[in-house]
Structure formats: structure tokens, C-alpha cells
Chain A
Amino acid sequence: MKSGPQTPALSQQISSRMEEVESLCLKIRGFMENGDPGLVSFPVELLARECLNNAVLHGNRGDAAKKIDFRLWVGRVWIRFQVSDEGPGFDWRKNRSAEPDLDSTSGRGLPLYAMYANRVRFNRNGNQITLWVQKKRQTRKEG
């Protein structure tokens, strides 16, 4: 799985506020829905939301002075995006396979990564996440 082109198709820095997450996610939706037909809007927006929400609440712990970086690249086969926060990071090695029970009101972010992303990578500190989602296959036109 190649890392794709180096120039992001979409790049934005936001403050650690849920209103800014919402605004960025709507921008991602617009980009995905108006881009090439291979783009898969729902999974990418959902995963981006989960990463950004985690960055605000757990990474930067709601400190609006701390920033979050979002970058998205579109390759021939893959959509790749990366979310980085300024927090101390979390131990993804311990938490990545945890699945909540049905009555639990939290803890579904990481299972969603496993469900909707083809690949998930954390940096060593656990304050940067990169996800890959496969584009829809295009049907080649006849003639």
C-alpha cells in the first residue's frame, strides 16, 4: 500500500472545538461528494469525525488553544487521511481491539476504525493517526 501523492487534496488546521470539527467535516463531505466518482463519502467522513472528536476530547483534552491538523490525499486506489493533535498521545497498542458491550454509551470509535478503514496506523506517541480507505472501483467505459 503506497503512501500516495505528497500534496494533500484537502488540508486544514482547526482549534480543539467541536464546532470547528463539525465545520471541517462538512467541508470533507462537500469535497468527497463533488470529487471524482470513486470517492466514498460516508466512510471517510465518519472516520474523520471519529479521529477529530478523539483529538479534541482525548488528545487535546478540550483545550481550545491546542491545534489539530487534518490532511487528506487522494491516490489512484486509496484515500488516505491523517489527524494530528498536540496531546501526549494514548497507548493504542492496549486499546485497539477493545469492543464495548451493547449498553455502553462510549468506546465505539476504535471499533469503527477497524470496520470502515482498510488500514490504520498510529505514530509511536499515539497523537497522530493515518487511515486508508479504498476508493470505489470504476467501470471502464466500452468502445
Chain B
Amino acid sequence: MPAYVIEQNGQQGSVRMMGDLTAVLVPELQAGLKDLLNKGTRELEFDLASTAMLDSSGMGLLIAASNSLSRSGGKLRVTNVRPEIFHLLQSMRLTARLNVSGPAE
């Protein structure tokens, strides 16, 4: 099973994580995100429905993606976040910054 699935449709892009978003994956994901942005993605969704752990390197990746998108007038959304990760992002004051939403009701 892949660690993540990246899709693009015009200016809409998505990264669906199939597991954790941690330091070991960050270099590889950085390259994939750079490619997405170079191909014109302006609205990017990061789906964390299957993510049980997010470390500070993963947070750094999300912030870097958000910074890059902001510079080109785009926006990042982080969706389907589990309660423990939501609490973590809230504690780091990043929920508004990263447009974080919890799992769908």
C-alpha cells in the first residue's frame, strides 16, 4: 500500500495520507508537493483520515505547503483530522493557520 496518494485536477490538488505523517516521509512528500505546485495547484487538501500520528516535521511540511500556496494566492486545507491530532494542532495555534477540520459527522 502506498504511504500517500497525490491527485490533481486543474487548480485543485489533494494528498490523501494512508498512514502517519512523520519525519521519515517528509523529504519524499516535499518533492511531490513541489511538483503539484509547479503544475499549477492553488487549492490543496491534505486528508488525514488515516493518520494516527503527526510529528513536528509533518507539521513543518504542512506549514511549508501553506506558505507556498499563500504566496501564489492559493490555500491549504487539512481535513478529517482525528481528535488527538486536532488537539495537538490547536495547542500549537495552527488550526486556523492550516484551515484544519475534524472528521465528517
Which of A1-9, A102-110, A117-125, A131-139 contacts the other chain? A102-110
Name the CB-closest residue of A to B23.
A53
Which of B6-14, B42-50, B53-61 lies at the binding interface? B53-61
Q: Which of B61, B67, B88, B93 contacts A46 (CB 8 A)?
A: B88
Say whether B67 contacts A53, CB under 8 Å.
no
Q: Residue A115 contacts which of B24, B53, B91 (CB distance < 8 angstroms)?
A: B91
Interface pair B63/A105, CB less than 8 Å apart: yes
- Nearest B residue to A108 via CB reads B56
Residue A91 lies at the interface, judged by CB distance under 8 Å to chain B: no
The SS class assigned to the B binding surface is helix
Task: Determine whether B104 belongs to the interface, using a CB cutoff of 8 Å to chain A.
Answer: no
A21 interfacial contact with B, CB 8 Å: yes
Q: Does B97 contact A (CB under 8 A)?
A: yes
Interface of chain A, main secondary structure:
helix
Instruction: Compute how far the CA of A21 lies from the CA of B23 in the bound complex, rounded to whole angstroms.
Output: 9
* 0 or 1 for each of A40-51: is its CB under 8 Å from B? (1 = yes): 001001100110
CB of A77 within 8 Å of the partner chain: no
**Chain B, Cβ-Cβ closest to A53:** B23
Q: Quick check: is A37 within 8 A (CB to CB) of the other chain?
A: no
- Quick one: which of A18, A45, A102, A115 contacts B23, CB cutoff 8 A? A18
Given A18-B23, A111-B92, A45-B63 contact (CB < 8 Å): no
- CB-defined A-B contacts under 8 Å, sample of 27: A18-B24, A22-B22, A22-B23, A22-B24, A25-B22, A25-B53, A29-B53, A42-B53, A42-B84, A45-B53, A46-B53, A46-B88, A49-B22, A49-B23, A49-B53, A50-B55, A50-B56, A53-B55, A102-B93, A103-B63, A104-B63, A105-B63, A105-B64, A108-B56, A108-B60, A108-B92, A111-B92
